[in-house]
Amino acid sequence: MAASARRSLVWRILSILVCPLSANRRALLNLLFCRYWPQIWGTPLYWLQSWWLGIEQAAMPQVYGLPEIKRAPGARIVLGRRVQLNSSSVRTVAATLSGPVRLAALSASASILVEEGVGLNGTSITARSKAIRIGAGTLVGPNVVIVDADFHAIWPPDARAVSPAIESDADVTIGRNVWIGMGSMILKGVTIGDGAVIAAGSVVTRDVAANSLAGGLPARFIRSLP
Ligand SMILES: CC(C)(COP(=O)(O)OP(=O)(O)OC[C@H]1O[C@@H](n2cnc3c(N)ncnc32)[C@H](O)[C@@H]1OP(=O)(O)O)[C@@H](O)C(=O)NCCC(=O)NCCS
């Protein structure tokens, strides 16, 4: 069969399959695809990945797409029950993701501890030598970065590339039922109290009190909640 005849046959079959559906039905199918397909392919791959890397988990998390995970020997990555790991841009509801969930525990003393019911959306968490804890029920908006390190010394300038400033690494503790707005950064040594809200696009460099709204660059107290 000639190439053009083959193309027209394929086109006719596609038309028969697609045309009977109205645009709204096709849109609905697309929504269902976006919702479930990342979970269908992500779950078995994550199951394999988490077994291979020795992730400690109370139960299989809800996984959409495949997270990127690095665990140094001796480091701990611990996930509680009902954790959601959304690494899929098509699955996400609020805004979009610029990358998958990234969990990196880079040395034997590093740990990432994620409690029950936490939702991570394209969140990048890097624990170089300390502990990063996220309390139960906390929601992390798309593209949030959480780190326990600066990764380079501030001074002297010519040593930045080679001096890791590991002595300034510090634990990060995020309380229970915190909501971290999209695109925020939580830097080393910060504690965020239970129930706090971090406004979108904030850079959190100091502690945030429980049940308060903080935001901006650097994040400052805005008001008490409710
Ligand atoms: C945190 C948030 C929900 C607060 O909304 P809100 O209660 O309506 O707050 P308001 O708009 O009344 O703002 C209150 C104050 O905070 C300031 N503020 C609000 N968002 C801010 C931000 N992202 N950065 C800095 N300041 C901010 C406002 O300018 C205002 O200051 P003012 O009183 O001096 O005028 C909202 O600002 C936000 O960040 N929304 C995005 C949430 C998100 O990331 N969703 C993604 C899905 S998880």
What Cα–Cα distance (Å) separates residue 67 from each residue in 32, 42, 109, 155, 173? 21, 9, 22, 34, 22
Provide the pLDDT confidence category of residue 1 given band limits of 50, 70 and 90: low
Question: 210 CB less than 6 Å from ligand 1?
Answer: no
**CATH code given to domain 21-224:** 2.160.10.10
Round to whole Å and give the CA distance between 140 and 120: 5
Give Rg (Cα) of the chain: 22
Mean pLDDT, rounded, for 166-188? 97
pLDDT of residue 35 exceeding 70, the answer is: yes
Q: Buried b / exposed e across 89-119, counting CB within 10 Å, b at 16+?
A: bebbeebebeebbbbbbbbebbbbbbbebbb
Which residue, by CA, sits nearest to atom 24 of ligand 1? 216
Q: Chain centroid to CA 65: how far? A: 11
Going from N- to C-terminal start, the domains of the chain cover: 21-224
- Name the helix (H) or strand (E) containing 40: helix 23-53
Query: Token pair for residue 97?
Result: 């993701």
Q: Are strands 220-224 and 212-215 parallel, antiparallel or unpaired?
A: antiparallel
Question: 203 CB less than 6 Å from ligand 1?
Answer: no
Please write the tens of the pLDDT for every residue from 97-140: 999 999 999 999 999 999 999 999 999 999 999 999 999 999 99
Which residue, by CA, sits nearest to atom 20 of ligand 1? 199
pLDDT of residue 20 exceeding 80, the answer is: no
pLDDT of residue 2 exceeding 80, the answer is: no
Question: 198 CB less than 6 Å from ligand 1?
Answer: no
Backbone angles phi, psi at 65, to 5 degrees: 70, -175
Please write the tens of the pLDDT for every residue from 43-78: 999 999 999 999 999 999 999 999 999 999 999 999
Q: For residue 95, what pLDDT is reported?
A: 86
Q: Buried b / exposed e across 25-43, counting CB within 10 Å, b at 16+?
A: eeeeeeeeebeeebbeebb
Assign 16 to helix, strand or coil: helix
Note if 208 is an active site residue: no
111: β partners: 76, 131
| Catalytically annotated residue among 152, 206, 220, 223 | 152
